[in-house]
Chain A
Amino acid sequence: MTSSTAGPPALELRSIIKEYEQNRVLKGVSLTVRQGEIHALVGENGAGKSTLMNILFGMPVIWETGGYEGEVLLGGAPARFHSPAEAMEAGIGMVHQEFMLLPGFRVAENIKLNREPTLPNPASRLLGNKLESLDVRRMRADARRALDAVGLGIDEWIRVAGLPVGHMQFIEIAREVDKERLKLLIFDEPTAVLTETDAEKLLEIMRGLASKGHAILFITHRLDEVLAVADRITVLRDGEVVGTPDPKTTTVVRIAELMVGRPAAVKAARRFFAPTTEPAMGIESLSVDMPGERVDDVTLAVRRGEILGIGGLAGHGKLGIANGVMGLYPAWGRVIFGEKLFPLNEPREALQRGLAFVSEDRRGVGLLPEESIELNIALSALEAQGRFLHSSPIPALQLLNHRAMRAHALEMIQALDIRTTGPSQQVRRLSGGNQQKVCVARAMTLRPKLLFVSEPTRGIDVGAKQLVLEVLTALNRDQEVTLVVTSSELAELRAICDRVAIVYRGKIAAILPPDASDAAFGLAMAGESAQAA
């Protein structure tokens, strides 16, 4: 801890408010980062961290949507950035999740890019200082100093291409540290791509930089790292600061609880269809290569008739399970479905064998936004099961049965209360909640035995959330469909599920009953399953 060396405030945020189309994503956030201190900002996906960073970095998306309210003070002076270039100029340094390095350039060239020390030459005297020669000796010396500051012992004159991932991360940091006017250094999920040893080393470097007087804003999902380095912690939830626990006295569980929050008032109709203990699907040693949501050797049994929830913090792989089984991302392992071995990486097979999927990526995977509601509802069944088609001697040339498709769409529109001008309306003109209902309608049209639903209520308003959850429980109750619901909102999982599995670093940390204590869920999300059990 370096709090003893904490100096004057480097960054102050005062009641920042930001709205996207009347949806308030930041509700008056204030925080202060002092010089010589590491300030950790934690929160679930959608808590408002990215929006806050976008404001700090002057991203165009902020100004295109009407700017923000509140004050940003950098080094005591008010600041309002209209572009990332302005923010960098003013002294904000950012270490990105993805590396922003030129692979064909040397390490020193990357560090000094666009800030190269130069020497005059005859051409530049004639034609202006844009033509000055590079002062290679000073470049190397500066780069050397910066690399030493982050403890990276590599030659500053080798090319970046081919260096290990950890090294690239440290070169990024060296580049930011080298900037003379640096006032604030932001680390956005810096350890996400690092090995454990590199992550350790990175944390050490962060501590070192802080002790030299740099102010650091540290954004991460890894709560143990927060406790290891942070001098101050701010927890965001739903665009509000819900706590500033003292890192000396707080625990991982306490932070997790703050992040996740108490169960909201999501009421779902209680169910009458009792789940059985017989298996619907057995997942054994499933690994899924889904970028950002990797699944690592998961074994999980889904019981026939139940609603199984899958929860966990973002990036730990909860979304990967459904995507892997459905064949949308490369997967390995053994899956038994309907007492038969189930083929992985075959999306079509998955649909034909009685699975269906409502994807978390509604606009990309879930819908054809330019097409009509009726086609969106019918398409999967039409493709995988050959429904809504006239018969024809050549299967591929069967004509669409427009009347059957329309009739079915009307039925679904009524059953799910989709608010629309008619079945031929383009899906992109619907609201988020109604689009989600179209996705659910398509999945229902497949008449699945087992339905995967990912993030059923992401990005839709409160009223529509309730309706979507009711539709799902009704589907389970009335049509005896086994449901596997993946969600970032623990509260809704606890409202509708029979069991909730919590995923941590690609593995199942615990399977809990919905009425288990907040602490048990908090612990499982922090990966401390032994104590939870």
Chain B
Amino acid sequence: MRLPGPLREFGLPRILIAVFLVVLFAVAVATHMDLRGLISDSIVRVGRNGILVLALLPAIQGGIGLNFGLPLGIICGLVGAVISLNAGVHGIWGIAMAAGIGVTLAVPVGAGYGWLLNRTRGQEMMVGTYLGFAIVSMMSVFWLLAPFKNPTLVWAIGGRGLRTTLSLGGIYDKVLDRWLQFSIAGVEIPGGTILVFFVLCFLVWLFFRTRMGISISAARSSTQFARAAGISDQRTRVQATVLSTVLAAIGIVVFSQSYGFVQLYTAPLLMAFPAIACILIGGASVTRATIGHVLVGTFLFQSILTVALPVTSQVIQGDISETARLIIQNGMILYALTRVVRT
């Protein structure tokens, strides 16, 4: 089937997902659900997950493909968050400290990860997945043995080892969400989180217009061309990986403040998958992604997750939203992998 021009540009998968979303919203209206609340929740989730999706963009543009090793950066951010909580820093400064420490850790971690990916060229996605799994398990040991003493963080009994879920209530729970919060026609918008997301999108967009950014995309497009232009593609790939890891560290801190909890142990294990589904639904491929893909994809995927649960429980007895999520998420990843052009 051939679609007319502008629609073809948008892509069949996106059209199907968008139609699905519209149908969900229509059912929500027909069954007199709280539409404003649903839209508001959708936007909250966009802000919460957006930076993690954005973190995938430098990796794709740098020629690494889908960064299944996102948990590496996420763990850096979590370590930052736990240190800031242990020190008892509240409010925006707590978030800043968590992100700052996370970024500081993410730079060397990303560089090491990039080095590894350079040695395993052609299998980046597989290596990233398993490295992520390995590191998450290793860090589970760390969370248990790390010398954190703050009684709000460690298990009440025995006084050793961090809890699996740390509440941010009264520390920096929803600090960004509430900052600059406003409402349009009764729809609550978490201004601060959305602003941070947009600002980071803009900075990444700007980065790919700098000398370093241009050489990263050029090396992705053609290794031979890059060599002839004096670009070392080994170096640009490491740069792209570092940027991706850094953004993941910031992303998880923003995610946690919006969610209200810091989740440790195996929580980061599968976090790359929904983010990857988002950017793919937005229209990115394994070799090309834009900020537009990040924005559209995050909105479509997160809205479906938000709306599907209440709507489906209204229409049919029982909950198929988790099933729908897994079908869409993994189906999308599978679809994207079938489109990889072997060179």
Contacts and interface: CB of A to CB of B under 8 A. Distances in A.
Interface residues of A, number: 35
Interface in A230-249: none
A404 interface: no
Nearest to B239: A396
B230 A347 contact: yes
Contacts of B229: 347, 351, 379-380, 383-384
A267 interface: no
Contacts of B10: none
A398 interface: yes
B341 interface: no
B210 A364 contact: no
Contacts of B218: 368, 371, 379, 383
A367 interface: yes
Interface string B260-296: 0000000000000000000000000000000000000
Given A348-B230, A351-B230, A379-B218, A364 B225 contact: yes
Contacts of A379: 214, 218, 229
Contacts of B17: none
B230 A397 contact: no
A7 B214 CA distance: 65
A386 B211 contact: yes
A397 B210 contact: yes
B211 A398 contact: yes
Given A326-B228, A347-B227, A383 B211 contact: yes
Specify the main secondary structure of chain A where it touches its partner. helix
Nearest to A383: B229
Contacts of A386: 211
Contacts of B215: 383
Contacts of A357: 228
A105 B231 CA distance: 42
A399 B210 contact: yes
B230 A384 contact: yes
A200 interface: no
A361 B211 contact: no
A366 interface: yes
B7 interface: no
A118 B48 CA distance: 66
B221 A396 contact: no
Contact of B210 (A365, A371, A380, A398): A398
Interface string A396-415: 11111010000000000000
Nearest to B223: A364
Interface in A329-365: 347-352, 357, 359, 361, 364-365
B231 A328 contact: no
A389 interface: yes
Interface in B193-217: 206-207, 209-212, 214-215
Interface in A301-337: 326-328
B224 interface: yes
B228 A395 contact: no
A370 interface: yes
A370 B217 CA distance: 11
A365 B224 contact: yes
Q: Which of B214, B218, B227, B229 is packed against the most chain A CB atoms within 10 Å?
A: B229
A368 B210 contact: no
Q: Which of A326, A327, A384, A396 is packed against the most chain B CB atoms within 10 Å?
A: A396
B222 interface: yes
Contact of B228 (A365, A399, A400): A365
A382 interface: yes
Contact of A400 (B214, B224, B230): B214
A119 B260 CA distance: 73
Contact of B212 (A347, A375, A384, A397): A397
Contacts of A384: 229-230
A151 B255 CA distance: 73
A379 B207 CA distance: 16
B232 to A, nearest CB: 8
B230 A395 contact: no
Contacts of B212: 396-397
A53 B215 CA distance: 41
Contacts of A366: 225, 228
A400 B222 contact: no
Nearest to A370: B221
B228 A359 contact: yes
Interface string A149-167: 0000000000000000000
A396 B211 contact: yes
Contacts of A365: 222, 224-225, 227-228
Interface in B212-257: 212, 214-215, 218, 221-222, 224-225, 227-231
A380 B221 contact: no
A367 B225 contact: yes
A409 to B, nearest CB: 15
Contacts of B228: 326, 328, 347, 357, 359, 365-366, 380
Given A368-B218, A383-B230, A389 B225 contact: no
Q: Top 4 A-B pairs ranked by shortest CB distance?
A: A348-B230, A396-B212, A365-B224, A400-B209
16 contacts: A350-B230, A351-B230, A357-B228, A366-B228, A371-B218, A375-B214, A379-B229, A380-B229, A382-B211, A382-B214, A383-B215, A383-B218, A383-B229, A396-B211, A397-B207, A400-B210
Interface of B: 206-207, 209-212, 214-215, 218, 221-222, 224-225, 227-231
Given A383-B215, A383-B218, 13 more contacts: A328-B228, A347-B230, A350-B230, A365-B225, A366-B225, A370-B221, A379-B214, A379-B218, A383-B214, A395-B211, A396-B211, A399-B210, A400-B210
